[in-house]
Amino acid sequence: MPGHFITFEGGEGAGKSTQIARLRTFLESVGKTVVVTREPGGSPGAEKIRSMLLSGDARDLGPRGEAMLFAAARADHVDSTIKPALDRGDWVLCDRYADSTRVYQGEAGVDENYLRLLETAAVAGVRPDLTILVDVPAKVGLSRVAQRARDGSGEAPDRFEDEEISVHERRRKLFLELATSESFRFAVIDGTLDLEEVEQEIRKAVVQAFASELKPAQNLSGKA
């Protein structure tokens, strides 16, 4: 596939959406065509499944059933949005992808081999070239989520946000372990830094990962 696939992962309140928007601006400023998308969702079919999952309507299915729904949503997202964009040669920036299932549903107790089977079926060979893990301690992330809910810039906690802090800490640990075991595709960014610093760190990681295409453009634009 001629395109470039970058996924963003992390716990709640890591600041992924802001950083995705900033990376999009940078890539467009150097002439790239960018598609921003998210999971669960990112295609009409998958958005329907998103509402079921985040409202808690699917909770009765248990973690294994929820994992199946995340996989079903992902399969549609890959077929309808991600793969066509990559085939066109676009840059796809995706807010969460298969690593979120490994971490969130893994933490909820779903068997690793079962999750692997679902992942293989859902992604159909479409794997990220680079995964940006925006890492923040659970306490920091959750206080940002609470602040957003208070000032009206965010929504009330969804089914997966509304958990004990220890659950959020375990997810953080699992993300970091995953980043270590698949370090060839991960860049771990300290999400507690200032927005601008996080932006620069992410840009550096992206330029490094796609050096042959971005180094010349970056020099021309004179940006960091």
Contact set with ligand TYD (CB under 6 A): 12, 16, 38-40, 54, 70, 95-96, 100-101, 104-105, 158, 160-161
User: Is the CB of 17 or the CB of 208 nearer to ligand TYD?
Assistant: 17
Shortest approach of ligand TYD to residue 95 CB, angstroms? 6
Question: Cα 80 to the chain's mean position, in Å?
Answer: 18
Nearer Cβ to ligand TYD, position 12 or 214?
A: 12
Measure the CA–CA gap between 109 and 41, rounded to whole angstroms. 23
Q: How far is the CB of 137 from ligand TYD (least distance, A)?
A: 15
Q: Which of 43, 42, 41 is nearest to 52 (CA)?
A: 41
User: For the chain, what is the total number of helices (H) and then of strands (E)?
Assistant: 11, 5
- CA atoms of 69 and 102, how far apart (whole Å): 14
User: From the CB of 192, what's the least distance to ligand TYD, in Å?
Assistant: 16
Which tokens sit at 204? 């550096």
Q: Which is nearer to ligand TYD, 158 or 169 (CB)?
A: 158
The letter for the amino acid at 74 is R
Tokens of 88: 């066109």
As a 3-state breakdown, the chain gives helix, strand, coil percent values, each rounded to 5, of: 60, 10, 30
**CB of residue 117 to ligand TYD, shortest distance in Å:** 15
Asked, as a colleague might, if the bond just before 40 is cis with ω within 30 of 0, I would say yes
Sign of the Cα pseudo-torsion (162, 167, 169, 173, in order) = negative
Smallest distance from ligand TYD to CB 109, Å: 13
Minimum CB distance to ligand TYD smaller for 104 or for 186: 104
Closer to ligand TYD by Cβ: residue 144 or 217: 144
Residue with tokens 């004179």: 222
Our CB check for ligand TYD shows the closer of 3 and 10 to be 10
> In the complex, what is the shortest distance from the CB of residue 158 to ligand TYD, in angstroms, rounded to a whole number?
6
